[in-house]
Amino acid sequence: MTAPVILRIALPVPLRRLFDYLPPAGSDPASLQPGVRVRVPFGRQQLTGVLVEVQASSDIPLAKLRPAQAILDDEPPLPPLLFGLAQWAASYYQHPPGEVMAAVLPSALRDGSAQDWHQQRLWRATGADPGLLRQGSKQLALYQALQQGPLPRAAIAGAGFSPAVLKALADKGLAESFVPAAQPFASTDLLAETPLVLNEEQAVAVAAVVPGRFSATLLEGVTGSGKTEVYLQLIGKVLARGEQALVLVPEIGLTPQTVARFQRRFRCPVAVLHSGLAEGERYSAWRSAARGEAGIVIGTRSALFTPLAHSGIIIVDEEHDSSFKQQDGFRYSARDLAVLRAQRENVPVVLGSATPSLETLHNALQQRYEHLRLTQRAGQARAPLLEVIDTNRKVLTEGMSSELLTAMRDELARGNQVLVFLNRRGYAPAVVCADCRWQGICPHCSARLTVHRKTRQLRCHHCDYMEALPDHCPQCDSTRLEYVGIGTQRSEQFLAAQFAEYPVWRIDRDSMSRRHSLHSMLDEIQRGQPCLLVGTQMLAKGHHFPHVTLVAILDIDSGLFSADFRSAEKMGQLLEQVAGRAGRAEKPGKVLIQSRFAEHPLLQTLLRDGYQRLARLLLAERQAAGLPPYTYLALLRAEHADPQRARLLLREWGQVLQGLCDSGVHVAGPWPAMMEKRAGFYRFDLQVKSPSRSALQKTLARFCAYAETQKLPKDLRWSLDVDPAG
């Protein structure tokens, strides 16, 4: 008797385990490759899962196992290396493996349809002598059918031949399978435009990254230093070898302009992947990457899991950007996994930024990564001058000092453009009653409601709550309602009144939602007529404003004082990025920063010595405080509509965790999340911290095994965030 064959399958259910099934009746053992999709009965439903491994035994009695219904693929959609990476990620981020598989496959494949991601495997006659086959036998009939031309397995089955017949032919050496070659991009005559002549630092960088073997490199280059040109020339080297490039960009960095830059340079097809695509578009881009047809694949976070037929290089642009970390569900870091993927595929990975994350900078300073620097702005451009305007005890008009307004007026009069940055969209971030101090608070979140005057609404920026803007106080009926604080809409209105002779353009999420208007707006700005731009951090990424010579940062103080240990790093990055918008062309730029704490050491360091120096200072602080990247963190969160329920669960689980800790692992909390209430749920956190990644991992794995066995009411939710982005 032959040993039983047990299929271990990852199913899209929220459990950190695999499920055992028997193979479908009559299935060909050769079809049971890890990574293929399998349709199985699950309770009363049918689910599409992924085969993880085949085993000879199960903990469940054989008689109780159900057979799978069908193996859906001839070839696994994810090649073994990527499949292995996804499994590794499931275990590292402590996320249910079936949910991870569902997250990394394009949605077109999740329901069990679409099978044409690469050329289908075909069967053909070998040309050996079929003399041994009996006249009138099924085998001879199939052999003759295959002599007419190659057929896929499905067509063979459809013509009434069982897998056994095909197998017998193959065993006799009369039939064989093959995957027809896809149409890869042409690796000759690639250049559609002449590359720029590199400056010395760029040339060093391009030479330092060698295709064909793993290396991890931090490319630390100030804004406008020509990192993109370095990427392009590295990609050129890789394409010439017939290999593909994967480029990851931040969510708001994936603009048509970015994509166009890659398309202009090379003749090969460029596949673009982001969450805004329709399922079909996304799938066809994914497929052209998997088949090796696209030379370049550009995408946001989730593009990290795109299979490449011939992987050649991975580039993560603006690697410090927080959009590379998934904030819910499968909370992975695409940047960290990019390094791991490159290692497994034995290709170089380049992490580029003007303002590297402290994690990446630390890796470079520890010489775990190569460290390349671009210190000069490319071409003629000069770095902008930074100055602070001390607003302490100064009268501000709509958030602006008179010095700032004068500087803006001068700059506009010289025919230049001015950019005003502030981090709040809407008209005002709060509404308060002058008589009874009533405030507009979201009923579902611990957050103030933002005034949106154009649409006459109060809106929550943390959930989708909105209500009509009241014209009298809901508490005391007073009509003295005050709009407190400055949002982009308010600045826009004020500036339009102050500078009536110049156009004012607002760029934030509200104005961006009208897509075509954004395009004409950008075109208008590129023409170079004097104007004012007002916006949020959307201004700081992806867009180039060569005619802007003055950048005004209205308020930086919230970044100096915050409970989040990453806030100073974030502030430094944002400031440097916004500043980088100015003086990119031949016009030098100036940055004016308003602060009531002009003497703050972090701000002074940033002004005097730039982000580079600030980052090193912050690293020293992190080391002294025992924070990442010198330790590893995980956040265990519980959420419930009743704050007591969430807090109590974490008290109890904190005790459990203490008992499960490896030595050196430390548990702290519970305490309320940075934003305690959101969308109706109160959130509490436990922090788990360790100087050893593996000790933390082991502790968390043990804890998850425990937590999953706990029966919790449906409305009491918990989640674990490994390496939280803060």
Nearest to 307 by CA among 80, 33, 109, 38: 80
The CA dihedral of 207, 215, 569, 317, to the nearest 10 degrees, is: 60
Stretch that binds ligand ADP, among 28-36, 225-233, 277-285, 457-465 (CB under 6 A): 225-233
Instruction: Verify cis geometry, omega within 30 degrees of 0, for the bond prior to 348.
Output: no
Member of 15, 60, 196, 497 binding ligand ADP (CB under 6 A): 196
Q: Which of the choices Zn ion, ligand ADP, none does residue 462 contact, using the CB cut-off of 5 to 8 A by kind?
A: Zn ion
Q: Is 223 in the site for ligand ADP (CB under 6 A)?
A: yes
CA distance linking residue 5 with residue 23, whole number of Å: 7
Member of 160, 212, 256, 379 binding ligand ADP (CB under 6 A): 379
Q: Is 227 in the site for ligand ADP (CB under 6 A)?
A: yes
Stretch that binds Zn ion, among 182-190, 437-445, 512-520, 668-676 (CB under 5 A): 437-445
Phi, psi of 683 (to 5 degrees): -120, 130
Q: Is 413 in the site for ligand ADP (CB under 6 A)?
A: no
Binders of ligand ADP among residues 305 to 344 (CB under 6 A) are: none
CA distance linking residue 607 with residue 387, whole number of Å: 7
Q: Is 243 in the site for ligand ADP (CB under 6 A)?
A: no
Tokens of 97: 């493996």
Number of residues that bind Zn ion (CB under 5 A): 15
Rg (CA), the chain: 29
Number of residues that bind ligand ADP (CB under 6 A): 15
Q: Is 511 in the site for ligand ADP (CB under 6 A)?
A: no
Cα 595 to Cα 390, 555, 566, 574, 578, distances in angstroms: 5, 6, 19, 15, 16
Pick between residue 88 and residue 438 the one whose CB is nearest to Zn ion.
438
**Tally of CA atoms within 13 A in the half-sphere of 99 that contains its CB:** 16
Member of 228, 417, 536, 612 binding ligand ADP (CB under 6 A): 228
Q: Is 195 in the site for ligand ADP (CB under 6 A)?
A: no
Pick between residue 265 and residue 645 the one whose CB is nearest to ligand ADP.
265
Binders of Zn ion among residues 462 to 491 (CB under 5 A) are: 462-463, 465, 473, 475-476, 478
Stretch that binds ligand ADP, among 45-53, 192-200, 420-428, 588-596 (CB under 6 A): 192-200
Q: Is 438 in the site for Zn ion (CB under 5 A)?
A: yes
Nearest to 720 by CA among 329, 333, 445: 329
Stretch that binds ligand ADP, among 64-72, 104-112, 218-226, 512-520 (CB under 6 A): 218-226
**How crowded is residue 173: how many other Cβ atoms within 10 Å of its Cβ?**
10
CA distance linking residue 70 with residue 163, whole number of Å: 13
Member of 378, 552, 646, 704 binding ligand ADP (CB under 6 A): 378
Burial class (CB within 10 angstroms; exposed 0-12, middle 13-18, buried 19+) of 209: buried
Instruction: Verify cis geometry, omega within 30 degrees of 0, for the bond prior to 250.
Output: no
Cβ atoms 1, 36 nearer than 8 A: no
Beta carbon of residue 244, minimum distance to Zn ion (angstroms, whole number): 43
CA distance linking residue 378 with residue 230, whole number of Å: 11
Longest Cα–Cα distance of the chain, Å, equals: 102
Stretch that binds Zn ion, among 23-31, 164-172, 267-275, 443-451 (CB under 5 A): 443-451
Cα 123 to Cα 34, 116, 132, 671, distances in angstroms: 21, 16, 20, 62
Binders of Zn ion among residues 374 to 433 (CB under 5 A) are: 433
Beta carbon of residue 610, minimum distance to ligand ADP (angstroms, whole number): 15
Q: Is 198 in the site for ligand ADP (CB under 6 A)?
A: yes
**How crowded is residue 7: how many other Cβ atoms within 10 Å of its Cβ?**
28
Q: Which of the choices ligand ADP, Zn ion, none does residue 445 contact, using the CB cut-off of 5 to 8 A by kind?
A: Zn ion
Beta carbon of residue 431, minimum distance to Zn ion (angstroms, whole number): 11
**Alpha helices, DSSP H only, in 504-637?**
509-512, 515-526, 567-579, 601-625
What kind and span of H or E run contains 553? strand 548-553
Pick between residue 181 and residue 197 the one whose CB is nearest to ligand ADP.
197
CA distance linking residue 669 with residue 367, whole number of Å: 35
Beta carbon of residue 548, minimum distance to ligand ADP (angstroms, whole number): 14
Q: Is 221 in the site for ligand ADP (CB under 6 A)?
A: yes
Q: Is 445 in the site for Zn ion (CB under 5 A)?
A: yes
Q: Which of the choices Zn ion, ligand ADP, none does residue 568 contact, using the CB cut-off of 5 to 8 A by kind?
A: none
Member of 31, 87, 139, 202 binding ligand ADP (CB under 6 A): 202
Pick between residue 139 and residue 417 the one whose CB is nearest to ligand ADP.
417
Residue ranges in contact with Zn ion by CB under 5 A: 433, 435-436, 438, 442, 444-445, 460, 462-463, 465, 473, 475-476, 478
Residue ranges in contact with ligand ADP by CB under 6 A: 196-199, 202, 221, 223-229, 378-379
